[in-house]
Amino acid sequence: MRLTTKGRYAVTAMLDLALNGTDRPVSLADISGRQDISLSYLEQLFAKLRRNDLVTSVRGPGGGYRLSRAGDEIFVAQIIDAVNETLDATGCGGTADCQQGEVCLTHHLWCDLSDQIHNFLSGISLSDLVEKREVQSVSARQNARRHQSATLALTEI
Amino acid sequence: MRLTTKGRYAVTAMLDLALNGTDRPVSLADISGRQDISLSYLEQLFAKLRRNDLVTSVRGPGGGYRLSRAGDEIFVAQIIDAVNETLDATGCGGTADCQQGEVCLTHHLWCDLSDQIHNFLSGISLSDLVEKREVQSVSARQNARRHQSATLALTEI
DNA sequence: TTTATAGTTGACCAAAACAGTGGGTTATTG
DNA sequence: CAATAACCCACTGTTTTGGTCAACTATAAA
């Protein structure tokens, strides 16, 4: 279990999907614009999210990504695990021969710690996040700006 | 809050200190031997641990490191924070202007997440870990091997 | 007082991970 | 057919990780 900006990006993007993808698929370009994440980097992240069955894709115009299931069935831990792709949380790959053929001090300790953090993050779903007041207000502002620039684009024609 | 092998190393080393440093200071060479962590890398980690007042040092022969206070007053979160040295968990340094001068979706979310993980790890002390059965048995085996090689060294004279 | 011990500091290094770029291709819609 | 947007892949620059080496200082013991 690693916690870096990579996982943060992935969770943000998935939360964006949960917020804006209720009726239609959401393109990575949209997410890139709203969340200020590079499009190509998003592509890499979503390739992993798709391989881990967290999202489904729709190609062609009007296409994009959808959550593969309801937001209350997708948990933060799953998202982070998907993009980090490290099944190996112990450093010795579960074989427990980390140190000269024997188990190290850290082995049990970190397994335990890792398990508990994992359990903690497994208890937070996308729906839980969507329901938070702060998230809603930020999302509202992002969409307001989006409409504003859409209007701007129209008046420019 | 970052969780990597670096923090794992630090926690392991501190746990070694808690287990073996009850009567006398413990040298980094000892920890290096028992926990199979490079001596020079330990030096770097302990410089940070010392700057963060988690350990005190004793120079000269018979010297080494001690916990700066009782094991039940040192928590895993403090150790990890000390070696990672990132007060900045949000990516925007608390200024909350992560995205074009405004707060991003992740800001509140990740602050919250970070806080909760932090609280969780702040609840686990070195003493808690020392009391664990698995830790005790591994430590006992490590010390047995240590005595064995000490005996071996004696017979070699 | 010398000597061995052990912390302290700093420069340096290779490999990996992170974050991003660019250039294609394939499928789908209009 | 053209536009869209997913998909794929090779490549790049930066940071972090984990580690090495060398020189230096404080101190306890012989």
pLDDT of residue B98: 55
Q: How far is the CA of A123 from the C1' of D10 (A)?
A: 38
Higher-scoring residue by pLDDT: A16, A99: A16
Residue that is written with structure tokens 């980390």 in the block: A98
pLDDT tier, B110 (very low <50, low <70, confident <90, very high otherwise): confident
Which residue's CA shows the smallest distance to C1' of C30? A61
Amino acid at the residue A31: I
pLDDT at A69: 96
* Element counts in chain B: helices (H) and strands (E): 7, 2
Asked whether A71 and A126 are in contact (CB, 8 A), the reply is: yes
Q: How confident is the model at residue B1 (pLDDT cuts 50, 70, 90)?
A: low
User: Across the interface, do B105 and A12 touch by the CB < 8 Å criterion?
Assistant: yes
Name the band, by pLDDT with cuts 50, 70 and 90, for residue B150: very low
pLDDT at A39: 93
Helix (H) or strand (E) holding A56: strand A55-58
Closest Cα in chain A to B15: A105
**Whether B91 contacts B46, CB under 8 Å:** no
Q: What is the percent of chain A where pLDDT is above 70?
A: 72
The crossing angle, in degrees rounded to 10, of helices A76-84 and A105-122 is 130
A78-118 pLDDT tens trace: 999 999 865 444 444 444 445 544 556 666 666 677 777 78
Q: Testing the interface with B: which of A105, A129, A136 to mutate, by most B Cβ within 10 A?
A: A105
What is the average per-residue pLDDT within A17-30?
Answer: 94
DSSP B7-49: HHHHHHHHHHHHHH-SSS-B-HHHHHHHHT--HHHHHHHHHHH
Q: What pLDDT sits at residue B87?
A: 46
Side-chain half-sphere CA neighbours of B117 within 13 A: 26
Model confidence at B155: pLDDT above 70: no
Contacts of A35 (CB under 8 A, 6+ apart): A12, A13, A16, B99, B104, B105, B106
Averaged pLDDT for residues B17-46: 87
Beta-bridge mates of residue B26: B65
CA distance B20 to B83: 21
Mean of all residue pLDDT scores within chain B: 76
- Using a CB-CB distance cutoff of 8 angstroms, which residues of chain A are in contact with residue B16? 105
* More reliable by pLDDT, B53 or B36: B53
Alpha-carbon gap, residue B84 to A2, rounded angstroms: 13
What average pLDDT does the segment A36-65 reach? 94
For the cut 80, the answer to whether the pLDDT of residue A46 exceeds it is: yes
Domains of chain B plus CATH, in order, are: 5-85+125-155 (1.10.10.10), 87-123 (no CATH)
The confidence score (pLDDT) of residue B115 equals 75
Whether pLDDT at B95 is above 70: no
Query: What does the alpha-carbon distance between residue A146 and residue A140 come to, in Å, rounded to a whole number?
Result: 10
Tell me the shortest Cα–Cα distance from B130 to chain A, in angstroms.
10
Is 90 exceeded by the pLDDT of residue B131?
no
Residues 15-44 of A with CB under 7 A from strand D: 25-29, 40, 43-44
Q: Is the pLDDT of residue B10 over 70?
A: yes
> For the ranges A13-22, A41-50, B7-16, which has the lowest average pLDDT?
B7-16
- pLDDT attached to residue A3: 74
Report the pLDDT value the prediction gives residue A104, as an integer from 0 to 100. 60
Residue A13 pLDDT level (bands cut at 50, 70, 90): very high
For the segment A6-33, the average pLDDT, to the nearest whole number, is 92
How many Å lie between the alpha carbon of B105 and the closest alpha carbon of chain A? Answer: 6
Which range is most confident: A125-129, B31-35, B81-85, B102-106?
Answer: A125-129
Q: Which chain A residues touch B106 with a CB distance below 8 Å?
A: 8, 11-12, 15, 35
pLDDT the model gives residue A149: 52
Which of B91, B88, B89, B107 lies closest to A129, judged by CA? B107
